[in-house]
């Protein structure tokens, strides 16, 4: 707990002076005011975080937190649990969707085992942070102990510190892997928001109507059995969360504590971000929502966090794929701030000033 609270206490707001200087420069650029839309606000936010008007996102990293879930025993997923470990190997070997999109964005992909139901060799180049093999079945009791919840969050913080120990990280993307993990993620937003489970629950890997009805009932039963406290993020994580969700929360906290912007991916990554921002509201200033997932609960997560996604292209994969695409937009945002000249710099008369 000491490391968790020390990290939370160390999160400071971005630099307001640089942020305001960025807004001033954007307003003075030789183009119609507001003509680059959302990119303008993004560029100012990134400037405040990096404390410079010339932000360089040269060192991009996407971390995929992986874990298994006891609730798959309730028939909530189309795929067997063994796929989680198989996909970890695929990520390491560079053959997954996220590897392709990350390469295009110039980002490195790293994988963290938080709770995969598999014994990975210690020489496999991943972050070995296993809390234990799979959560318990949240439909019949807590997914984990409170101590395990804290351990999973601290693991995410440690991952950020270990990355920084090997070199700079200019921006961090969060991704996930875990068969069945849309179920605990939907339970997290339901527990915190008190919105009806039916409105928050999607088809995950592509389950049919009957399986979707079962999934809704499973989440409702988990909430009724465990009664998570919506005002206690660690209790929500303990009762209906996942080890990888805790790890994702820790990534957000660790990055914010080191002035690193975080690009959050889909439903599961945003569940982790919700836990992080409830633990440390100051962390939200470092958070960027990459995309709007097809999963119905994702919109409610964004509304709860007060974040607008950068893109909406009907993704529902996870892995950090949306974060990889959004990094390219954020790269562009840094360049419009630093490289577009002002009216004074190009000696153009600003019609708005006449």
Distance CA 205, CA 183 (A): 11
CB of 160 within 8 A of CB of 258?
A: yes
Checking DSSP bridges between strand 171-177 and strand 262-264, what pairing results, if any? parallel
- Alpha-carbon torsion (293, 296, 297, 301), positive or negative: positive
In 15-75, the DSSP E strands lie at: 60-67
The order of strands in the sheet holding 171-177 is 127-128, 107-115, 60-67, 171-177, 262-264, 287-289
The helix/strand/coil state of 157 is helix
CB of 159 within 8 A of CB of 64?
A: no
Q: Tell me if residue 303 is catalytic.
A: no
Of 235, 139, 145, nearest to 180 by C-alpha is 139
The helix/strand/coil state of 205 is coil
Q: How many CA atoms lie within 13 A of 123 on its CB side?
A: 0
CB of 269 within 8 A of CB of 256?
A: no
CB of 182 within 8 A of CB of 197?
A: no
CB of 101 within 8 A of CB of 291?
A: no
Q: Which of 244, 295, 319, 328 is catalytic?
A: 319
Q: What angle do CA 108, 179, 172 make, to 5 degrees?
A: 25
Q: Which residues are catalytic?
A: 319
């Amino acid at each position: 707990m000491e490391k968790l609270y020390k990290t939370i206490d160390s999160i400071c707001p971005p630099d307001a002076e640089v942020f305001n200087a960025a807004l001033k420069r954007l307003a003075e650029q030789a183009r119609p005011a507001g003509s680059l839309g959302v990119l303008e606000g993004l560029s100012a936010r990134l400037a405040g975080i990096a404390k410079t008007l010339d932000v360089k996102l040269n060192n991009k990293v996407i971390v995929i937190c992986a874990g298994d879930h006891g609730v798959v025993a309730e028939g909530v997923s189309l795929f067997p649990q063994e796929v989680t470990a198989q996909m970890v190997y695929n990520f390491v070997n560079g053959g997954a969707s996220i590897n392709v999109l990350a390469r295009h964005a110039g980002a490195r992909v790293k994988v963290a085992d938080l709770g995969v139901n598999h014994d990975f060799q210690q020489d496999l180049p991943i972050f070995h942070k296993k809390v234990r093999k799979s959560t318990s079945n949240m439909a019949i009791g807590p997914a984990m102990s409170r101590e395990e919840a804290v351990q999973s969050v601290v693991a995410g913080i440690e991952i950020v510190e270990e990355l920084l120990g090997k070199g700079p990280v200019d921006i961090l993307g969060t991704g996930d892997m875990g068969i069945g993990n849309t179920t605990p993620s939907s339970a997290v937003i339901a527990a915190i928001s008190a919105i009806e489970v039916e409105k928050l629950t999607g088809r995950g890997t592509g389950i049919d109507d009957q399986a979707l009805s079962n999934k809704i009932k499973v989440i409702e039963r988990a909430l009724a059995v465990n009664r998570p406290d919506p005002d206690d993020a660690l209790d929500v994580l303990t009762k209906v969360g996942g080890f990888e969700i805790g790890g994702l929360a820790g990534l957000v906290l660790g990055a914010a504590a080191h002035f690193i912007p975080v690009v959050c991916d889909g439903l599961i990554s945003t569940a982790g971000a919700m836990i992080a921002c409830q633990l440390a509201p100051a962390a939200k200033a470092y958070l960027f929502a990459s995309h709007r997932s097809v999963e119905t609960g994702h919109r409610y997560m964004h509304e709860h966090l007060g974040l607008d996604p950068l893109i909406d292209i009907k993704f529902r994969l996870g892995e950090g794929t949306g974060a990889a695409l959004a990094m390219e937009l954020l790269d562009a945002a840094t360049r419009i701030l630093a490289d577009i000249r002002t009216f004074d710099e190009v000696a153009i008369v600003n019609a708005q000033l006449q």
